[in-house]
Structure 1
Amino acid sequence: MKLFICTLTAVILQLVFVAQAKLPDKSQIMTDMQRVADWQIEHFHDDMERENEWENRFNAWTYGALYIGMEKWAKMAPTNKYYEFLLDVAAQNNWDLGPGKYHADDQAVGQLYIELYRKYKKPHMLAKTLDRTNWIMNNPSTQPMRLNHYKYTERWTWCDALFMAPPVWAKLANITNNDDFRDWMFAEYVATVNHLYDKQENLFYRDEHFIHERDNGHKIFWSRGNGWVFGGLTLILEELPQGPQKAYFTRLYKDMAASLIALQTQEGHWAMSLKAAALYPTPETSGTAFFTYGLAWGVNNGYLDKNTYLPTIERGWQSLTSHITSDGMLGYVQPVGAGPGDAWPDKTEVYGVGAFLSAGSELYKLAQD
């Protein structure tokens, strides 16, 4: 009887939380997005204090992820200043990708250049991204599909890579009407799935070193790592024509979505280790933002049932906005890493802001006036 009462109480508390976590109106979503975007632009150079030189570039993956969300916000914003910011950054980068010829992280910024090309139709915006991807396709890496302590990074041997590079290839296939980009991407993507995807859990290991590792008996599925994959799937699916490739990505996306809604905490965030929330009680906003974005995108685009997924989306957004500081900083973003770790209310990262702005762009479409 006591167990029944405890269970009933937990269910009632969860239902109360769900009832409270309703979407704000569109104007509030716009306000929250603008506060976070403006704070990030004002503090744009702060991340340049990193010790690692490879992260201290405005065309690094960290910034590339920011630009994806910032460009989504720029489309919504009542002023052109956000596109002006992005154009200025791209010009500072000389429209270059990162230095690693094959490295997926160094292709992520290409997504910004492609979207700016789509808006402004200036050939120089696309030229270097096209050159890089053509070179990779014509000189395929012979490295094995394994990371081996970062010995092999020319192929997509870690799950984060599935956000950074594949959308570039899918977008280029549409822009150039060249299916070779799409086919090359698909083959490499499937190879990564076969290597890192757990078909029982419908989640991705971050890389090979986590496949057999356990944390107090729990499989280790890093929240942001799976967020990279899930968010990246939406960017790919938007570009694909009907056919076997789209069916493959659709099934992967839906299977992940079904797993993710079962793993959300009662507080609305996703734990840094998805299957071990009790071990990582600290909120974390980058993974949560990517999941909230990806699920909202799925409802908006007819991939997911609204009645099933909306409560999860609402709780996710409420959790995210509760961690915006009074001056507009998005807190509790886990620092650069490769697995579950720590996060703090007064610490942020540019990629977390990019994920938040992406989530807001889809929440805006869901919200009522």
Structure 2
Amino acid sequence: PTDAGGQDPLVSGGELWGSLGDDGVYLLDVREPAEFAAHRIGGAVNVPLARLFEEGACDSIPRGKKVVTICSHGNRSMIATFALARNGIGSSSLDGGMAGWSQVLVPRTVHDSGGTRVIQVEKVGKGCLSYVVARGGKAAVIDAVHPASEYAKIAKAEGLEITAVADTHCHADHVSASREVASAAGATLHMSAAEDYDMKCERIADGGSIPLADSELRAVHAPGHTPGSMAYVIDGLAFCGDTAFAGGVGRPDLHEDAAKAAGDLHDTLHGRLGGLDGATRLLPAHRAEGAEASPDGSYGTTVGELRSGALYGADRESFVRDVTASIPPKPPNHAMIVRFNRGSMPLNPAMIPDLEAGPNRCAVAAP
């Protein structure tokens, strides 16, 4: 069924993603200004729901465009469609609101060379990045996110067998899907030996490896964002978790003393990661706020670009001072998310969208 304006009453997050950038689509966010300021879809216009019922409030909303109303969970946005209909404006409500939007996954190939193919899976509403690393018909999944079922779909479409799953570290801003992906695929689950986990998994330490067809992913201990962070290196690619981003580094305060961790991060950037070949691509587990994608759609940097950055040039003391002074607010629900990701408490999948609500706050930008 459609509304009086000819639009379907609901639009899915995937459908909305496909229409972003279309001049014929108008995004109307009806949350309160503080909610909108904290986390929003690019290009959206904010008009709080109550205002839509005021005289003349709808005059600025364009006719002739596909209007999509947005709120936190899809309730206020549905009411907004009725307010707009009273003014002769057809509209659709974003199904599940921002919580639903945070669960949309978009795969794209970002590397295909030397027998290794990499499919980046972006959780567009959250900025999370995971990877399907394929070689010789086998695949390793790194930093899987929910919905976990998407990885089996990707593997089937690409003719791949998932044989290994790994997290670079214990994430604090989103719920890891690595256990579920590994279980569904019958794959080996790998977790850092330098972090505490209460689950069945293979513990991988610095210098260890994850077999992948005729090659392997080599583990490099990269402490700083978390004490046990690992990077996985193969064919000139380093999947570096939240250690380094284009224009920033991982926040050091979610798992231990911020100053100590920032010092460890400095040493990692100048040693274990910074010591890799300058052409090595660093592929992170998040896109930094405001980051622009490379032509292939990937978000990341190279070791050479890392070395030329402002933070890299700082001495250890200055680095610690600048990083700890620039830490953003902590992600909502981070303590509970860490417990889920360590396997310390059971997870109700229905809780995931609300647990992950809010912006990506894992990066510290260069001053």
Normalising to structure 1: TM-score of the pair? 0.30
Higher strand share: 2
Normalising to structure 2: TM-score of the pair? 0.30
Higher helix share: 1
